[in-house]
Amino acid sequence: MSPAGDFSKALLRWYDAEKRDLPWRRNNDFYPVWISEIMLQQTRVEAVTPYFLRFMGLFPDVRALAAAEESTVLAAWSGLGYYSRARNLHRAAKAIAAGGEPSDFESIRALAGVGDYTAAAVASIALGDARAAVDGNVMRVISRLANDAADIRAGETRRRFAGQAARLVDRRRPGDFNQAMMELGATVCTPKAPDCGKCPVERFCGARAAGTAAQLPVKLGGKPAREVALDVAVLARDGRVFLVERAASERRLAGFRELPGKKDVKGARFRAAGEFTHQIVNDRFRVRVWVAGTPAGLPAGEWISPSELGDLPVTTTAKKALRIAGLL
């Protein structure tokens, strides 16, 4: 057996015995695989699991998703973040419902919101396409296997690592192989303090042999997070809370409900209820929560009962602030 074959055999043996029982791994049909891969973009497995289960309950097939109102889809996604994913998912569902399910990598790649990694993951798992799916976990594994200290952010490095991953793919079980590589990166070959003693492919790892695993991969030139102060007002009346709606011109959160800014509420007495931090991409928000009595003036918005919030797209910061204020 070739070195790549030996590697694949060891990795898949470990995966079969140790893989996590995740709900999207119970059915390799296109629809649940596609939904899970979109949800898992830049989002941890632990956060995705309850959303996936609820989403599949609400929209059990692509036609149900395509027929839903966008606001309903956004409400089901609310709290998961990166809301363009939900809008693109809805657009793609409409295209699939009209034109049929994708049958190869290229047709998956053509769907709204799908890039090379997601298309490769879905194609390998749902269609058996022997194609490497290279995400951050896989890049980290490859950098350590090769003991390669090149900047992982550099395009040339990423292309080289992708080529190395492609040469390792098990052609008989490409979907399982890709998931095993991701599982390895998520549970053993972790960013900090990799558990090399438990690694099923330790004997193939150049960084383990050289003692450099903890120093890899190398990332250069990352931008520091931008600190943003945000003061929000929590207003309650007759068991309802006051929310405003994001303008349609604000692409990322258009149509979402959120709390008004403290500065936009006139003539009210405020008391501080607490604060929290919330990061969106490269912005770190320091959100201070203020509870007010009856104001003299309010921006355009509406009073909504807590029982209605689950049916509306509501920003994560608003939900966190309402919990701090004891209203959710």
Name the nearest CA neighbour of 68 among 78, 55, 81: 55
C-alpha Rg value of the chain to the nearest Å: 23
Contact 157, 150 (CB under 8 A): yes
Tokens encoding 324: 């701090």
Tokens encoding 215: 């120093």
Q: Which helix (H) or strand (E) holds 270?
A: strand 270-280
Contact 277, 220 (CB under 8 A): no
Place of tokens 């390895």: 184
The DSSP string of 54-90 is: HHHHH--SHHHHHHS-HHHHHHHHTTS--THHHHHHH
Tell how strand 270-280 and strand 257-258 pair up.
Answer: unpaired
Out of 18, 37, 227, 250, pick the active-site residue: 37
Q: Cα–Cα–Cα angle for 115, 68, 255, nearest 5°?
A: 75
Contact 185, 138 (CB under 8 A): yes
* Residues 147, 194: Cα–Cα separation, whole Å: 14
* Residues 314, 76: Cα–Cα separation, whole Å: 10
292: left (phi over 0), alpha (psi -120 to 50) or beta: beta
Known catalytic membership, residue 69: no
Q: Cα–Cα–Cα angle for 111, 22, 59, nearest 5°?
A: 50
Name the nearest CA neighbour of 114 among 185, 38, 208: 38
Contact 189, 141 (CB under 8 A): yes
Active site residues: 37
